[in-house]
């Protein structure tokens, strides 16, 4: 069974959200930024997974690692060797080049530094040396920051990506609904990652903006103009960014209605709100299986609460 070394990184104000996403993806708590798993996760669906190394060899010394690579007689064309920095302080550029050159010399074939077909990674972590095939998060999804339409209250890209993975546990075959999709921030991340996701919006002008955002990036997404109470189709998961605004009794009633209907049309729900609705969610009979908070920036002045729910009491 293959073993993978993952490296994750995040801003301090997103630590709780990252931990929530890792629990959903790997079904366990991740306590360190470097960890091992036999589970393969597509690195670019997550805002926090920076690299994934498929471990081919593990050794206690660099010399032992080189010998292992020699004995396995790698014959590869168009390869490249990179040092994978996973801890600080990192090795100097000179030290990294010395290590990658030594590894490259024992791989037979022709290297390609500009257009490699395979990238071998080598790194040292916790007094052990590792060699394998490395892939990096391309961060190409950050292009969504330039979407034509946006609101100041829209979810950040990292939050949108993470909660999708929390909702579907990284399974892109799951059917997801965003019943309050707004201008489509979550939809963009869903389509980029390959999720089967449908957006629903009650306001025609806002729905049009969501469609414009999807079309701008070439996504063939569905945005339905409808009230959540009129949705009958059942989905595997719902991602619900509850309406943001001045909180009043009418707002609370509206949010409770959305929570109730989201639970009616989905097996699993992720609710996001700027106010604490824990009691409201429980009063609807939903079981909160996990939860988190995320802040807009390092000032931590704007808090979003996140609840993951399944089934009912």
What pLDDT is recorded for position 231?
96
Q: What is the pLDDT of residue 299?
A: 74
Q: How far apart are CA 66 and CA 69, in angstroms?
A: 5
The whole-number pLDDT of residue 247 equals 42
Q: How many residues does the chain have?
A: 313
CATH 3.30.2130.30 positions along the chain are 4-41+47-136
CATH fold for domain 143-312: Rossmann fold (3.40.50)
What does the pLDDT read at residue 9? 96
Fold of 4-41+47-136: VC0802-like (3.30.2130)
Task: Please tell me the predicted confidence (pLDDT) of residue 313.
Answer: 53
Low-confidence ranges of the chain (pLDDT < 50): 246-250
User: Which residue, 124, 115, 161, 117, is CA-closest to 142?
Assistant: 161
Where, residue-wise, is CATH 3.40.50.150 in the chain? 143-312
Q: What is the pLDDT of residue 163?
A: 97
Round to whole Å and give the CA distance between 54 and 134. Answer: 6
**pLDDT at residue 297, as a whole number:** 75
**CA gap 272, 163 in Å, rounded:** 9
- The pLDDT of residue 245 is 52
Specify the pLDDT at position 298: 76
Confidence (pLDDT) at 244: 64
**Chain-centre distance for alpha carbon 215:** 22
Give the start-end residues of each E strand in the chain. Answer: 4-8, 34-37, 49-59, 79-83, 118-125, 128-136, 175-178, 196-201, 222-225, 235-241, 266-273, 286-295, 303-312
Residue 312 has what pLDDT?
Answer: 65
Q: Do residues 127 and 93 make contact, with C-beta atoms less than 8 angstroms apart?
A: no
What was the pLDDT predicted at 249?
Answer: 47
């Amino acid at each position: 069974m293959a073993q993978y070394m993952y490296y994750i990184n995040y801003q301090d104000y997103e630590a709780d959200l990252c931990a929530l996403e890792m629990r959903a993806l790997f079904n366990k708590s991740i306590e360190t930024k470097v960890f091992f798993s036999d589970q393969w996760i597509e690195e670019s669906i997550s805002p926090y997974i920076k690299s994934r190394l498929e471990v081919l060899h593990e050794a206690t010394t660099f010399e032992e690692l080189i010998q292992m690579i020699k004995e396995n007689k790698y014959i590869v064309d168009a390869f490249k060797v990179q040092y994978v920095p996973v801890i600080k302080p990192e090795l100097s550029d000179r030290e990294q080049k010395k290590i990658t050159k030594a590894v490259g010399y024992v791989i037979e074939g022709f290297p390609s530094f500009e257009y490699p077909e395979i990238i071998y990674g080598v790194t040292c972590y916790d007094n052990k040396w590792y060699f394998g095939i490395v892939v990096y998060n391309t961060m190409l999804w950050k292009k969504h920051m330039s979407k034509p339409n946006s609101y100041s209250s829209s979810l950040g890209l990292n939050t949108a990506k993470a909660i999708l993975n929390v909702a579907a546990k990284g399974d892109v075959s799951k059917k997801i609904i965003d019943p309050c999709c707004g201008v489509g921030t979550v939809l963009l991340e869903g389509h980029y990652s390959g999720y089967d996701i449908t957006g629903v919006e009650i306001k025609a002008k806002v729905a049009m903006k969501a469609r414009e955002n999807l079309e701008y990036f070439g996504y063939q997404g569905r945005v339905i103009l409808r009230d959540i109470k009129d949705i009958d189709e059942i989905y595997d998961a719902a991602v619900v960014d509850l309406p943001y605004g001045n909180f009043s009794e009418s707002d609370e009633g509206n949010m409770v209605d959305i929570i109730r209907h989201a639970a009616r049309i989905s097996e699993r729900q992720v609710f996001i709100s700027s106010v604490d609705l824990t009691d409201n969610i429980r009063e609807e009979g939903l079981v909160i299986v996990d939860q988190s908070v995320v802040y807009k920036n390092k000032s931590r002045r704007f808090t979003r609460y996140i609840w993951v729910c399944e089934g009912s009491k």
